[in-house]
DNA sequence: TACAATGTTTTAAG
DNA sequence: CCTTAAAACATTGT
């Protein structure tokens, strides 16, 4: 059977789904490594070293934090993976021959673990040592953890008080894993206009946003992260990418605008009519 | 053809 | 040093 790999760009839940696509190789040795050594994907790491270091090691475990993934190998090998806009992980047959965009392939006895990324906005890095690399351990706590308190949210939004709330939600330092669809989903559910300065999100509205951030993360992981199911009916995400998307509640056409270079959709009845540069 | 795409990083400016 | 704005990155699909 040939599995079908969804063509979706990865945010929190999608990353978690793709991470699990390599679970079939847990506990197994890497026989050989095939990679494109000069691919942009390997910027900042020595691809030749990576190739030499991983061959013969065993894949032990993996974890996702926000949009980052870390795969641990025996003898202190750590492989960091970011999928960018077009990256994905999948498994192929053991005799797999990498294609043009299959930049990294780990050959195992019963399958090959593949990382593909056409645009190469993604990234692969390798760390050798007894513990996980610094960039990983310094990563902010998950939004679903008890560490992400209302006070943490308030402090972050105040620090970036001049940014439109939509742009602030995309900052990975504050909201690890949140991407374009999740940010719009959260603002729609919270009834906040995407252009609202972050510093103006206060009081009851702030508290509601905090609850919704956690709710959307949990549910996205439960549905999409599990098996890449579509989000339930009633989610804004189902409408956002349609040419004539409508508000799931009012059935009126969504407002669309490029905000800070990112496509943004909102409902003027739920979130108001505010646009960029009011004068 | 020209433009847009669910993401970061760099560079410049305030 | 801090925050913000915009361009750059490379490829594919409409």
> Can you give the pTM of this predicted structure?
0.95
Find which nucleotide's C1' atom is closest to A264's CA.
B6
Of A2 and A233, the structure prediction assigns the larger pLDDT to: A233
Identify the residue whose tokens are 């310094």.
Answer: A138
- A120 CA, C9 C1': Å apart: 9
Please check the confidence at residue A3 and state whether its pLDDT lies above 60. Answer: no
Find which nucleotide's C1' atom is closest to A118's CA.
C11
pLDDT at res. A8: 64
Q: Mean pLDDT over all residues of chain A? A: 93
Q: A277: pLDDT confidence band, cut at 50, 70 and 90?
A: low
- A262 CA, B11 C1': Å apart: 19
A179 touches strand B (CB under 7 A): yes
Find which nucleotide's C1' atom is closest to A83's CA.
B7
- A101 CA, B8 C1': Å apart: 19
Question: Contact at 8 Å (CB) between A186 and A197?
Answer: no
- Which residues of chain A between 201 and 260 are close to nucleic strand C, CB under 7 A? 260
Mean pLDDT for A174-203 is 97
pLDDT above 70: percentage of residues in chain A: 96
Phi/psi at A12 (nearest 5 deg)?
-40, -60
- As given in the structure block, the two tokens for residue A92 are 């192929």
Question: Contact at 8 Å (CB) between A12 and A66?
Answer: yes
- As given in the structure block, the two tokens for residue A25 are 């190789």
Q: Do you know the residue count of chain A?
A: 279
Residues of A designated catalytic: 10-11, 67, 262
Q: How far apart are CA A140 and CA A179, in angstroms?
A: 16
Helix intervals (H) in chain A? 12-20, 47-54, 134-137, 150-159, 165-169, 180-190, 203-227, 237-240, 268-271
Q: A7: pLDDT confidence band, cut at 50, 70 and 90?
A: low
Q: A278: pLDDT confidence band, cut at 50, 70 and 90?
A: very low
Q: How far apart are CA A204 and CA A110, in angstroms?
A: 54
DSSP A19-45: HHTTGGGTT-B--EEEE-TT-GGGTTS
> In degrees to the nearest 10, what's the CA dihedral of A246, A250, A251, A256?
-20
- A17 CA, B10 C1': Å apart: 30
Please check the confidence at residue A65 and state whether its pLDDT lies above 90. Answer: yes
What are the helix and strand counts (H, E) for chain A?
A: 9, 10
SS3 content of chain A, % helix, strand, coil (to 5): 30, 25, 45
């Amino acid at each position: 059977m040939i599995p079908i790999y969804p063509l979706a760009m990865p945010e929190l839940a999608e990353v978690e789904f793709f991470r699990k696509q390599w679970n079939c190789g847990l506990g197994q040795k890497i026989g050989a490594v095939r990679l494109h050594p000069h691919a942009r994907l390997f910027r900042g790491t020595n691809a030749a070293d990576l190739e030499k270091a991983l061959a013969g090691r065993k894949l032990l475990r993996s974890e996702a934090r926000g949009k980052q993934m870390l795969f641990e190998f025996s003898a202190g090998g750590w492989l960091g993976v970011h999928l960018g806009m077009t990256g994905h992980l999948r498994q192929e047959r053991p005799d797999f021959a990498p294609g043009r965009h299959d930049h990294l392939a780990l050959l195992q006895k019963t399958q090959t673990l593949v990382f593909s990324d056409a645009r190469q906005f993604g990234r692969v890095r390798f760390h050798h040592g007894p513990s996980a690399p610094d960039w990983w351990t310094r990563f902010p706590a998950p939004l679903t953890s008890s560490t992400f308190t209302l006070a943490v949210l308030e402090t972050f939004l105040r620090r970036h008080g001049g940014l439109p709330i939509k742009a602030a939600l995309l900052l990975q330092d504050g909201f690890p894993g949140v991407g374009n669809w999740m940010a719009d989903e959260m603002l729609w559910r919270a009834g906040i206009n995407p252009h609202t300065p972050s510093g103006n999100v206060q009081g009851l509205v702030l508290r509601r946003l905090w609850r919704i951030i956690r709710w959307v993360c949990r549910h996205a992981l439960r549905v999409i992260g599990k098996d890449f199911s579509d989000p339930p009916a009633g989610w804004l995400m189902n409408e956002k990418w349609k040419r004539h998307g409508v508000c799931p509640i009012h059935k009126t056409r969504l407002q669309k605008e490029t905000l800070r270079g990112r496509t943004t959709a909102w409902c003027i009845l739920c979130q108001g009519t505010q646009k960029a540069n009011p004068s």
